[in-house]
Amino acid sequence: MSLSIRRAGTGDIAAVAGLHIASWRVAYVDILDPAYLAGPIEADRTAVWTERLAAPRDDLTVLLAETRDGSPVGFVCVIHAEDPPWGRLVDNLHARPDLRGTGIGARLLAAAAAIICHGDMHLWVYAANDGARRFYARQGGREVDIQASDKVGSAGKPLWRVHWPDARRQALADATPMTISPLPG
Ligand SMILES: CC(C)(COP(=O)(O)OP(=O)(O)OC[C@H]1O[C@@H](n2cnc3c(N)ncnc32)[C@H](O)[C@@H]1OP(=O)(O)O)[C@@H](O)C(=O)NCCC(=O)NCCS
C-alpha cells in the first residue's frame, strides 16, 4: 500500500480520535470495560486528541499515516520528555482495524523512531494484547517491566514496558522510503 506519513495538526483531531476509538473498540474488546468502550470512549478520546493537537506543542509529535487519496489509516504519538533509562515514550500506535497486517504499524513505528533519532525509546502494551506483543517482539522490542495500568476502564490490568535501546537502529530497519512532511504554515 502506498502510504504517506505526516505530522498531524488541528485539522486532524477528528481523524486521530476516530482511528483511536475504532482501534480500541476492536483490539481492547476483552481488555477495557465494555461500558467505557460503548460510550464514554468517544468524549474521552476526543478530549485527549483535542488537548494534544488543538495548538502546536513542543513536548509531543503526532504522526498520521494516509493512503494516496488522503484517507487516514493509522497514527502514532511520540512524547519527547526523556524517561531515564528508557528514553522517549511512544504513546499510542494504531492501524485502522480493517488494515491490520498490511505493514502500517511497522512504518509508523519506524517513523516514530526516526523522530526520536538518538537514544532509547519505549512504550506500554497490555499483557493481554498478544498480537501487539508479538508485533513489538518482531520489531526488536524487549519487555523489561510490568506495571498495573491506571488508564480509565482498564481495572488495573497489567501493562508491559517494551524497550528499544537505540531508536536510530529501529528507524533504519524499515527500508521503505519515507518523507515526514512538516505542517503547512
Ligand atoms: C499493533 C499494530 C499497530 C501492528 O501493526 P500491523 O501493521 O497490523 O502489524 P502486523 O501486520 O505485524 O500485525 C500485528 C498483529 O496484529 C494482528 N493482526 C494482523 N493482521 C490482522 C488482521 N487482518 N485482523 C486482525 N488482527 C490482525 C495480529 O495479532 C498480528 O500479530 P500476529 O501476526 O503475530 O498474530 C496493529 O496491529 C494495531 O493497530 N493493533 C491494534 C491496536 C494495538 O494493539 N496497538 C498497540 C497498542 S500498544
Task: Report yes or no on 141 lying in a domain.
Answer: no
Q: Kindly report, residue by residue over 77-135, the tens digit of the pLDDT.
A: 999 999 999 999 999 999 999 999 999 999 999 999 999 888 899 999 999 999 999 99
Backbone angles phi, psi at 32, to 5 degrees: -95, 160
Closest ligand 1 atom to 27 CA: 41
Round to whole Å and give the CA distance between 18 and 160.
Answer: 25
Task: Report yes or no on 146 lying in a domain.
Answer: no
CATH number of the domain within which 173 lies? 3.40.630.30
Confidence band, pLDDT 50/70/90 cuts, at residue 2: confident
- 95 C-beta closer than 6 A to ligand 1: yes
Task: Report yes or no on 11 lying in a domain.
Answer: yes
Task: Report yes or no on 79 lying in a domain.
Answer: yes
180 close to 5: Cβ distance less than 8 angstroms? yes
Closest ligand 1 atom to 26 CA: 41
Which strand (E) or helix (H) includes residue 21? Answer: helix 13-27
Other CB atoms within a 10 A radius of the CB of residue 118 amount to: 9
CA of 135 to the centre of ligand 1 (A): 7
Backbone angles phi, psi at 12, to 5 degrees: -105, 5
Best residue among 26, 76, 125, 135 to mutate for probing ligand 1's pocket (most ligand atoms within 8 Å of CB) is: 135
Task: Report yes or no on 16 lying in a domain.
Answer: yes
The stretch 52-74 carries a mean pLDDT of 96
Q: How much is the pTM?
A: 0.91
Q: Kindly report, residue by residue over 166-185, the tens digit of the pLDDT.
A: 877 776 666 454 454 544 43
Task: Report yes or no on 73 lying in a domain.
Answer: yes
Task: Report yes or no on 148 lying in a domain.
Answer: no
Domain count, the chain: 1
Domain containing residue 19? 3-123+168-181
Task: Report yes or no on 143 lying in a domain.
Answer: no
